[in-house]
Amino acid sequence: MPELGLTAGDRVVIGGASGLIGRALTSSLRADGVTVTHLVRRTPAAADEVQWDPTGPLDPDALAGARAVIGLNGASIGRLPWTAHYRSELLWSRLSPTRTLAAAVGMLGADAPHFLSASAVGWYGSAPAGVVDESSRRGRGFLSDLCEQWEGSARRAADTAAVTLLRTAPVVHPDGVLKPLIALTRAGLSGPLGRGTQVWPWISLPDVVGAVRHIIEHGLTGPVNLVSPTRTTANDIGFDLARHLNRPYVLRAPAWALRGALGEAADALLLTDARVRPAVLDAAGYPWALPNADAAIADALPAAE
Question: Mapped to the 3 state alphabet, what secondary structure does 250-265 carry?
Answer: CCCECHHHHHHHHCHH
Domain ranges of the chain: 11-171+203-230+274-288
> Residue 5's pLDDT band (boundaries 50, 70, 90)?
confident
Share of the chain above pLDDT 90, in %: 93
Residues 220 and 3: their CA atoms lie apart, in Å, by 10
Q: Which residues are registered as beta bridge partners of 70?
A: 14, 116
Residues 75 and 71: their CA atoms lie apart, in Å, by 13
Phi, psi (deg, nearest 5) at residue 71: -105, 120
pLDDT, mean of residues 151-168: 97
Helix 293-300 and helix 234-245: axis angle, to 10°? 40
Residue 3 has pLDDT above 70, yes or no: no
pLDDT single digits (tens) 94-149: 999 999 999 999 999 999 999 999 999 999 999 998 899 999 999 999 999 999 99
Under CATH, which architecture does the 11-171+203-230+274-288 domain have? 3-Layer(aba) Sandwich (3.40)
H or E segment and range at residue 223: strand 222-226
232-235 long-range Cβ contacts below 8 angstroms, 24+ apart: 232/199, 232/200, 232/202, 232/293, 233/196, 233/197, 233/198, 233/199, 233/200, 234/192, 234/193, 234/194, 234/196, 234/197, 234/198, 234/200, 234/270, 235/192, 235/196, 235/197
Reported pTM: 0.96
pLDDT, mean of residues 249-262: 95
H or E segment and range at residue 85: helix 84-106
